[in-house]
């Protein structure tokens, strides 16, 4: 890409990461390189490539041409110096912790993060001698106070899964910087189309690429972006521990990302329309969407995000029994543990984001049992609303 002018997000979604790599037989698409290893004709060149003194690849657990193109595309979209990929989103998160945290370190985060992340905080990190302090998500003062006590890392997820709360990255990053802490932000819900956390003071951005980035629910992957120095540490940890992104998944994610900007713009618009419609429905008790003016963090979202995202959640009268009644009636929505794809996907946290957690753990995280997570697809929004209307009519 030209350094004289930064291309827009839609352009980078298509061309990012694809102009710096040799194309085979003049192909216009990045090829899928399935080779496990890469051969050399002399030891010196082989050795130099292995030591990263010359460009090239040695073994696909470490680097791979198709995977590198995916990493570079995300890197450009996030405005990062470097990126490294992983086999899934949770691998990106757990490897970030593994690479950067040591016994005796302290991490500050929020209570209602994604269920898998919450399990790392409550079940896996403490036995390793890492202190975890989880704060009330909506209380920036509490987070700042805990950070001020000292920590190695501040970990944020915004918007949160599934409560769709929004954290002020810039404000909290300043608090972390004051004590020399690293700031890691899960940007899966927002995507780089709506938010660029690095520009707001974050040090590392992580994504579950299986969600909005790929967009077609057909490839698992994760990615982390940041400075050369930090990403080199994450890459080294991942190359040794082996949570490698497969070339075919990298290709599927690359292909999906070509429409990332178009998809997210459509999902932003549809989610806003659906949130407003749900808010006026008589059986809907609560709608969580940062684009709504009465959302607790609407002002933060308005200042921080270019769009409010395709994710929303809502509760209905009758709780879980009502959910069991109306969700199966939806015709244009998968009941599945996924999000961010072209099809609309729905489900309560008890079987999606927080299925690993007990009811008590979900309650402690501020997640009601009667909540519905709604991932807006790119269908005609009039059809989605009509579908919701007929399904909700079964609740009396």
Residue 369's Cβ-count burial label (10 Å; 0-12, 13-18, 19+) is middle
Q: Look up 211 and say whether it is catalytic.
A: yes
Which three-class secondary structure state does DSSP give residue 132?
Answer: strand
394 is catalytic: no
Instruction: Write out the two tokens for 9.
Output: 């997000």
What DSSP designation does 129 have? Answer: T
Which residue among 114, 155, 251, 374 is the active-site one? 114
Q: What CA–CA distances, in Å, run from 54 to 45, 49, 51?
A: 8, 5, 8
Which phi and psi angles does 374 have, rounded to 5°? Answer: -125, 110
| Alpha-carbon span 273 to 185, nearest angstrom | 27
Alpha helices in the chain (DSSP H): 9-15, 43-50, 65-78, 89-100, 115-119, 140-148, 169-178, 191-194, 228-241, 247-257, 260-279, 298-304, 319-326, 359-364, 381-392
Could you tell me the sign of the dihedral formed by the alpha carbons of 260, 262, 268, 271, in that order? negative
On whether the CB atoms of residues 274 and 244 are closer than 8 A, the answer is no
**Residue 61 annotated among the catalytic residues of the structure:** yes
Q: CA angle at residue 356 from 350 to 361, to 5 degrees? A: 75
3-class state of residue 20 by DSSP: coil
Identify any residues that bridge with 207 across adjacent strands, giving them in sequence order: 223
Q: Which of 211, 263, 362, 373 is catalytic?
A: 211
Q: Please, are residues 294 and 279 in contact by the beta-carbon 8 Å criterion? A: no
Among this protein's residues, is 186 annotated catalytic? yes
Please tell me the distance from the alpha carbon of residue 97 to that of residue 11, in angstroms, as a whole number: 33
Residue 190 CA, chain-centre distance (Å), reads 7
What is d(CA 167, CA 110) in angstroms, rounded to the nearest whole number? 10
Say if residues 1 and 72 touch (Cβ distance below 8 Å).
no
**Catalytic residue selected from 186, 203, 237, 249:** 186
Going by C-alpha positions, the residue among 93, 117, 95, 97 that lies closest to residue 107 is 97
φ and ψ at 345, to 5 degrees? -130, 135
Rounded CA gap, 85 and 235, in Å? 8
Please give the positions annotated as active site. Answer: 61, 114, 186, 211
């Amino acid at each position: 890409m030209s350094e004289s002018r930064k291309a827009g997000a839609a352009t980078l979604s298509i061309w990012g990461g694809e102009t710096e790599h040799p194309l085979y037989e003049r192909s216009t698409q990045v090829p899928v390189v399935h080779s496990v290893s890469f051969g050399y004709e002399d030891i010196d060149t082989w050795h130099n490539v292995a030591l990263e003194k010359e460009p090239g690849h040695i073994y696909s657990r470490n680097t791979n041409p198709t995977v590198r193109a995916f990493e570079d595309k995300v890197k450009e979209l996030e405005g990062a110096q470097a990126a490294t990929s992983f086999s899934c989103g949770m691998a990106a998160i757990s490897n970030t912790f593994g690479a950067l945290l040591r016994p005796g370190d302290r991490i500050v985060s929020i209570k209602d993060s994604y269920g898998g992340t919450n399990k790392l905080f409550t079940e896996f990190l403490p036995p390793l001698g890492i202190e975890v302090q989880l704060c009330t998500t909506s209380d920036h003062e509490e987070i700042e106070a805990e950070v001020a006590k000292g920590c190695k890392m501040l970990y944020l997820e915004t918007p949160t899964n599934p409560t769709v709360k929004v954290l002020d990255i810039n404000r909290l990053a300043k608090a972390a910087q004051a004590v020399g802490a690293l700031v890691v932000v899960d940007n899966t819900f927002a995507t780089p189309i709506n938010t660029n956390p690095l520009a707001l003071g974050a040090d590392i951005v992580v994504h579950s690429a299986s969600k909005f980035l790929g967009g077609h629910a057909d490839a698992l992957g994760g990615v982390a972006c940041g400075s050369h120095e930090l990403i080199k540490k994450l890459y080294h940890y991942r190359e040794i521990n082996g949570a490698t992104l497969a070339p075919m998944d990298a290709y599927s994610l690359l292909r999906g990302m070509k429409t990332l900007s178009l998809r997210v713009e459509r999902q932003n618009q549809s989610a806003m329309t659906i949130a407003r419609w749900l808010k006026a429905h008589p059986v809907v008790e609560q709608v969580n969407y940062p684009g709504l003016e009465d959302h607790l963090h609407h002002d933060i979202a308005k200042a921080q995000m270019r769009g409010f995202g395709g994710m929303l959640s809502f509760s209905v009268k009758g709780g879980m029994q009502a959910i069991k009644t109306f969700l199966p009636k939806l015709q244009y929505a998968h009941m599945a543990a996924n999000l961010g794809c072209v099809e609309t996907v729905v489900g309560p946290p008890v079987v999606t984001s927080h299925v690993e957690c007990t009811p008590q753990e979900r309650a402690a995280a501020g997640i009601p049992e009667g909540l519905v997570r709604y991932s807006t697809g790119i269908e005609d929004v009039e059809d989605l609303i009509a579908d919701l209307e007929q399904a909700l009519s079964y609740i009396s």
